[in-house]
Chain A
Amino acid sequence: MSKRFMSIWFRHLKTDWFTRRQPALKTIPFVLAASDHGRLIVTAVNIPAQSEGIHTGITVADARALVPSLQVLDDQPELPGKLLQGIATYSIRYTPLIAVDPPDGLILDITGCAHLWKGEQIYLTTIANRFKYFGYDTRICIADTIGTAWAIARFAQDKTIVEHEQQTAALLPLPPGALRLEQETIERLEKLGLLTVSYFISMPRTALRRRFGKHILLRLDQALGHEPEAIIPVQPIEPYQERLPCLEPIATATGIEIALQRLLDALCKRLMQEEKGLRIALFKCYRVDGKIEQIDIGTNRPSHNAGHLFKLFENKINTIEPALGIELFTLDAQKVEALSPLQQKMWEQTGGLDNIHLAELLDRIAGKVGADCIHRYVPDEHYWPERSFKKAVSLNEPLQTTWKADRPRPIQLLSKPEPIQVTAPIPDYPPMSFRYKGVLHKIIKADGPERIEQEWWLQEGQHRDYYYVEDEAGQRYWLFRSGHYEAAYQWFIHGFFA
């Protein structure tokens, strides 16, 4: 299939933008000016000013002489780049491959896109009308090559679509400037009387190269399609992306759900065929008014289960604001991992933490309440109780060490030891009684002490002498004394035994 390109030329990009912001400027002649070598030079002219004979490059003083009521505004040199970038992002609804063509144009790779709008003429008119609605004066052309589209858009008054393989005929009457040549080469061509492309297109290539350099041949070949020309898209193409343009703008939650369902089905089908599963997905909604709404999800395990992924998105659909309506939905799988069907079978059988249902459940929980609520603990090689376990990074993180069960440990551990008052008769003996939260507990039985030293390479401080005690009601506690009897010490309660 041959390629088709569209070139859009914004004839008054900067002034149109000023008019868009201040509609009053529409009928008033105004120019943008920037200082150059101490003079104010006109850098952009709007249509009323142009009709008065003002053009870019003259000084503001000269322009004022022509039109005394001329408004002069400050030029913003970085404006066109930003504007074009914004317009290109907006235009992704027409084709995924768009490049910025500085200083005042866009290039769209529309191969295989126009038929969605029932033909190139309608496609072109739709785009032109949309920009006209936004207040931009554009000239658009569709052709087989970027060079031809660019040339026709800027230099031919009447033509908008160059049929397949017709670029030579279309280029013949155009001036040499249409070939995107350097200013120097154009001047030299004009000086020699080669005023249109037809004058020199049939000249021997060696003669052209000798007189005007290699560049002219390259540009000629690019315009005629003998030499390929690549564009750098504004948005890199996601390898796993699905698009759903809508005929009518969608504004209801049900509509969005249907669109999402369709995109997910298509994407999952493709992922399944390639034995891949998705980890991160982004669902984007392009609104009629130019804004983009998006929601994203992540999964614990690669998945191509459309039903499950839909459930993850479902909680977030109500955050999308459709406003006047959404005209394009896209679904990008930003992170994809291998997922073999054999593994999936195994998971379903084995259960445990590899259970696929569990992974899907945790995805749902993470989507609803946040992933930071979900913990799994693995043992850590420390005797200090607070450090004897740590949070696992993932569901299937293997254990680095084993769980120790050689010493009695309380089933409930206070996250921070709480100070208590005790009556202890003899040093290094368990206390006789202690008071915790205002209740006095008389200790009947006790076991200990079990000394746990500070890990000096991690933390300075006093050691702990732990006692396992039982009060008269049979309730069991884990108490400790921090430090030696001689020095400053304090009793704490640290846990409850079952």
Chain B
Amino acid sequence: MLTTKANIIARLQKDISPLQGYRSASKNSALDTGLGPIKYAFPNATFPIAAIHEFISTQTEDAAATKGFMSTILASLMRNNNASIWISNARNIFPPSLKGYDITPDKIIFIQLQKEKDILWVMEEALKCEGLAAVIAEIKELSFTDSRRLQLAVEKSQVTGFIIRNNPRSLNTTACVTRWKITALPAGLQENMPGVGFPHWNIELLKVRNGKPGNWHVACIAGQLKHTALPAVEVIPFEQKKKAG
């Protein structure tokens, strides 16, 4: 009896997922985003492409870490020779550094716009364009309606969208499938070791639709993510943290 119930729930879940903007795993199984254990946070243990991902950062340093983490995912999306579009209000990416993440920087079209309204327009148009690997936009505010429009655009074209929100005024509800927060961690090299070591990040998956939010510590070694042990006090689910705060 119990198993049949579980089966029914699983089947229903499977039916609902596509309606919420998820594609079945079979189509994209070839894509390995190099996320390692993080992928188990997603439904079907697959990083959702053809969806909008939202990254939150509160300061410039976090924004840099966010772009670093995002670039590791972008590299795997761009591996099939497709181009990407990166929309921001100023050129703050240093194109040669992307090569370190195995991205060909000349395959990215950078678009610089001053008005957020224009950025959203360009992003929506770009997301409708088939054959792009990803569209990245740096904006501050994103309303629910706008995020819904973007989500509808990707569902047809299968393009992945990334939104980097630096220092947003409010963390409003959006239609994005995930919400991430990446912060830098000390590399934890031994005291007498020279140099700075590999970058370490604290990756918080604050929201994921139909998945399990979580918290991971990773090191980025030559553009590849490598998981490191979490410190003893960790994995406070997001909901609880909110209640506590």
* B-binding residues in A (CB < 8 A): 350-353, 355, 357-358, 360-362, 364-365, 368-369, 373-379, 385, 388-389, 392, 399, 403-405, 408-415, 444-447, 468-470, 472-477, 495-498
Given A365-B122, A413-B94, the answer on whether A358 and B106 have CB atoms closer than 8 Å is no
Given A357-B131, A365-B125, A403-B105, the answer on whether A498 and B83 have CB atoms closer than 8 Å is no
A410 vs B67: C-alpha distance in the bound complex, in angstroms? Answer: 11
* A-binding residues in B (CB < 8 A): 60-61, 63-65, 67-69, 71, 80-83, 90-100, 104-113, 118, 121-122, 125-126, 129-132, 184-187, 189, 194-197, 199-201, 220
A392 vs B95: C-alpha distance in the bound complex, in angstroms? Answer: 12
Given A357-B131, A361-B125, A496-B61, the answer on whether A413 and B92 have CB atoms closer than 8 Å is yes
A360 vs B197: C-alpha distance in the bound complex, in angstroms? Answer: 44
Task: Among A412, A447, A473, point to the contact of B63 (Cβ < 8 A).
Answer: A412
A476 vs B220: C-alpha distance in the bound complex, in angstroms? Answer: 13
B96:A476 contact, CB within 8 angstroms: no
B157 to chain A, nearest CB (A): 9
A365:B185 contact, CB within 8 angstroms: no
Task: Among B109, B118, B199, point to the contact of A376 (Cβ < 8 A).
Answer: B109
Instruction: Sample 23 A-B pairs with CB under 8 A, ordered by A number.
Output: A351-B80, A369-B122, A373-B112, A374-B110, A375-B91, A375-B109, A375-B112, A377-B110, A403-B99, A403-B106, A409-B97, A410-B94, A411-B98, A445-B187, A447-B194, A447-B196, A470-B186, A473-B186, A474-B184, A475-B65, A476-B199, A495-B94, A498-B201
Question: Main SS of the interface on chain B?
Answer: mixed
Contacts of A475 in B (CB 8 A): 61, 65, 184
Interface contact tally, CB-CB below 8 A: 167
Closest residue on chain B to residue A380 by CB atoms? B96
Closest residue on chain A to residue B102 by CB atoms? A405
B106:A399 contact, CB within 8 angstroms: yes
Known: A445-B189, A476-B64. 20 other contacts (CB 8 A): A355-B132, A357-B129, A375-B111, A377-B95, A388-B96, A389-B96, A399-B106, A405-B100, A409-B97, A411-B71, A412-B60, A412-B92, A412-B93, A415-B92, A446-B196, A447-B195, A472-B186, A476-B196, A497-B68, A498-B199
Closest residue on chain A to residue B189 by CB atoms? A445
Given A351-B80, A375-B109, A412-B64, the answer on whether A498 and B71 have CB atoms closer than 8 Å is yes
Task: Among A415, A447, A472, point to the contact of B91 (Cβ < 8 A).
Answer: A415
B186:A444 contact, CB within 8 angstroms: yes
A377 vs B105: C-alpha distance in the bound complex, in angstroms? Answer: 7
Contacts of B200 in A (CB 8 A): 474
A396 to chain B, nearest CB (A): 10
B146 to chain A, nearest CB (A): 17
A352:B83 contact, CB within 8 angstroms: yes
Closest residue on chain A to residue B59 by CB atoms? A475
A353 vs B129: C-alpha distance in the bound complex, in angstroms? Answer: 12
A352 to chain B, nearest CB (A): 5
Task: Among B118, B184, B187, B199, point to the contact of A369 (Cβ < 8 A).
Answer: B118
Contacts of B93 in A (CB 8 A): 411-413
